[in-house]
Amino acid sequence: MLMEKLRTHHTRDIEPEEMADKSVTLAGWVHEVRDLGGICFVVLRDREGMAQVTLVKKKVDSDFFNKAKKLMRESVISVTGTVKPEEKAPNGYEVLPDDITVLNESCTPLPLDTTGKVEAEMDTCLDSRYVDLRKPRTSAIFKIRHEVLKAVRDNFTREGFIETTTPKVVATATEGGTSLFPITYFDREAFLNQSPQLFKQILMSGGLEKVFEIGPIFRAEEHDTRRHLNEATSIDMESSFSDHFDIMETLENTIAHAYSQVKENASQQLEYLGIDLEVPETPFKRLTYSEAIDIINQYGKEELEWGDDLSTLSEHTLGEHVYNETGAHHYFIIDWPTEIKPFYAMPYEDNPEISKTFDMMHTRLELSSGAQRIHYYDMLKNRIENQGLDPDSFDFYLDAFRYGMPPHAGWGLGCERLLMTMLGLENIREVVLFPRDRRRLSP
C-alpha cells in the first residue's frame, strides 16, 4: 500500500533513544533547507511537527548531497533513513537519509513564508490558505477547532441531546429581518437560513425532546467588523421541559468542557500559539439587564436608557467591569426587555415587560443568546403580529404549536466566537478556513 511505502511514522512518533539506528520513512513538506557547505539540513514538516534530515557532504554521494541542497521549499517529499538521537534537533533526533523521493515539486516563490519568520497580511494568508495552513500556528488553530467541536458533541451526547441537521434553504425569514441572502429556488424566491431557530423548535416538539445542531448560518448584514462573518458556524440547542436557567447550565458545561478538552488534547497546539489555557469556572456570574445598564451608566462613556440594546462600547465597559470584579471572562446578562428580544422569547408571567432571556458574554463580545421560548400558539401569533410580521408566512412553524408543544428553551452559540475568545485572537477570520465577509467570496 502507498501509505506504508511513503510513511512509516509521523515526526512526533519517533522516540530518539528507543529507535536509535532504526530505519524509518517520513513523509511531508520541505519546511526549510539550510546549506552550511559541508553539511546540509533539510527540515521535513508533517502534520504533527518537524524532523531534521541531516546530510554530511563527506559521508554521502555528491549527487545525492547536491540534489538535497536544491530541494524547493514546500515540495512534498518522502525520506527513508536511520534515526540518530540529537539533542539540538527538533524532537531530539535527526534522520540520516538513504533516500529522498520528491513526490511533487513546489513552485517558487511561495505566496507567503511558511516558517512564520516573515509575517504576511491577513488577506494574503486568506488568499493562500493552502500554504498558510502549513504554518504550525495556523494548523494549530484548526486542530483546536476540531477539538472544540468534538468536545461540544461529547457534552451534548452526555446530556442526552440528539444531533440533527435542518434545512439551510428556506422560504421564511427566521426573525423577519432584512439580513437574508435571497436565492433562486427553481421559479421561486428562497433564502439562506440565518438561524435554525424555527426548525429546531419544531423538531424538539416532534418527540426528540432535546436536540442540537452544528451548522452554518448566513447573515447578509453589511457590517465589516472583526467579530462578524456573513457565513458563520452556529452551535444550537433546544430542550423540552426546560426554562432559561436549565439551559444556562448546559451552556456553562459546554464551554467548560470545550476548554478542558482542548487543554487535555491540544497541549502542543496551545504551545505553538503561546497560550496557557485556563478552564473557566462554573457557574458564570449572572447580572440582570437592569444591573448591566446601571454599571454602564456609572462606569461607561455613554448614557443608556432602560430598553436600549447594548452597544459595542457598552459591552466593553461591562465586560471589563465584571473582569475586574471577578477575574472571570464569561458572564451572563439575564432578563432582557421583551421588546428588544425576538418574538419567540417568553415574557415573565408576572412582569411581561421582561423576558426569560440571556446573553452569554466574554469580556469584549457576545458569545451566545438564549431564552425560554413561547410555547402557546395564541401568544406566539400575537407576538409575531406585534412585531409587524405576517403570521401567514409562519404557518409551517405556528402549526407545530397547536398539537402539543411542551415548554422549552434553547440557545445559539457562535463556534468562531468561542474559538477566537478561547485563543485570544482579535480577528474572527483567523478561525475560519475560508471566511465569507463583505468583500470575500473566494476562495
* 239 is annotated as an active-site residue: no
**9 is a catalytic site residue:** no
Find which of ligand ATP, Mg ion, none residue 321 binds, CB within 5 to 8 Å per kind: none
Q: Is 409 annotated as a binding residue?
A: no
Q: Of Mg ion, ligand ATP, none, which one sits near residue 145, judging by CB under 5 to 8 A according to partner kind?
A: none
**Smallest gap, in angstroms, from Cβ of residue 365 to Mg ion?**
10
Binding mask 310-349 for Mg ion (x = CB under 5 A): ----------------------------------------
> Which range touches Mg ion (CB under 5 A), out of 156-164, 325-333, 361-369, 394-402?
361-369
Q: Name the strand (E) or helix (H) holding 295.
A: helix 289-299
Q: Quick check: is 366 catalytic?
A: yes
Q: Decide if 369 is catalytic.
A: yes
**Crossing angle of helices 136-158 and 244-265, rounded to 10°:** 140
Q: Is 159 a catalytic residue?
A: no
Report the SS3 class of residue 325.
helix
Give helix 136-158 / helix 415-422 axis angle, nearest 10°.
Answer: 120
The nearest distance, CB 366 to ligand ATP, in angstroms, is 4
Name residues whose C-beta falls within 8 Å of residue 254's C-beta, 6 or more positions apart in sequence: 151, 152, 155, 156, 235, 413
- Identity at 3, one-letter amino acid code: M
232 touches, from ligand ATP, Mg ion, none (C-beta below 5 to 8 Å by class): ligand ATP
Residue 338, number of CB atoms within 10 A of its CB: 22
**415 assigned binding-site residue:** yes
Compute how many residues bind Mg ion; rule: CB under 5 A.
Answer: 1
Q: Which of 369, 375, 408, 430 is catalytic?
A: 369
Question: Binds 100, which of ligand ATP, Mg ion, none (CB < 5 to 8 A, cut-off by type)?
Answer: none
- Take residue 374 and report the three cell numbers written for it: 413561547
Angle at 161 between CA 281 and CA 347, to 5 degrees: 75
Nearer to Mg ion, 89 or 354 (CB): 354
CB of 83 to ligand ATP, least distance (A): 46
Task: Specify the residue, 206 or 424, whose C-beta has the smaller distance to ligand ATP.
Answer: 424
Instruction: Please state the closest distance from residue 356 (CB atom) to ligand ATP, in A.
Output: 15
Start-end of H helices in 168-243:
197-203
Is 149 annotated in a binding site? The answer is no
C-alpha 378: how far from chain center: 38
d(CA 389, CA 169): 20
DSSP assignment string, 379-432: HHHHHHHHTT--GGGGHHHHGGGGS-PPPEEEEEEEHHHHHHHHTT-S-GGGG-
Q: Quick check: 369 binds Mg ion (CB under 5 A)?
A: yes
Let me know if 227 is a catalytic residue.
Answer: yes
Give me the residues that bind ligand ATP (CB under 6 A), please. 219, 228-229, 232, 234, 366-369, 412, 414, 416-417
CB 192 within 8 A of CB 166: no
Q: Is 220 annotated as a binding residue?
A: yes
How many angstroms separate the Cα of 152 from the Cα of each of 187, 198, 234, 267?
39, 22, 12, 18
> Is 175 assigned to a binding site?
yes
Strand order in the sheet with 181-185: 169-170, 188-192, 181-185
- Residue 44 counted as an annotated binding residue: no
Give the residue with the Cβ less far from ligand ATP, 71 or 141: 141
Q: Which of 219, 362, 429, 436 is catalytic?
A: 219
Active-site annotation holds for 311: no
Q: Which of 86, 221, 231, 249 is catalytic?
A: 221
Residue 204 CB contacts under 8 Å (≥ 6 apart), including other chains: 210, 211, 238, 239, 240, 406, 408, 410
- Measured from the CB atom, is 94 or 238 closer to Mg ion? 238
Annotated catalytic residue within 31, 417, 429, 436: 417
366, 429, 430, 436: the active-site residue: 366
The residue of the chain with the least Cβ separation from Mg ion equals 369
- Known binding-site residues for Mg(2+) equal 366, 369
Give the residue numbers marked as catalytic: 219, 221, 227-228, 366, 369, 417
- For binding to Mg ion (CB under 5 A), which residues are involved? 369
- Known binding-site residues for L-aspartate equal 175, 219, 369, 373
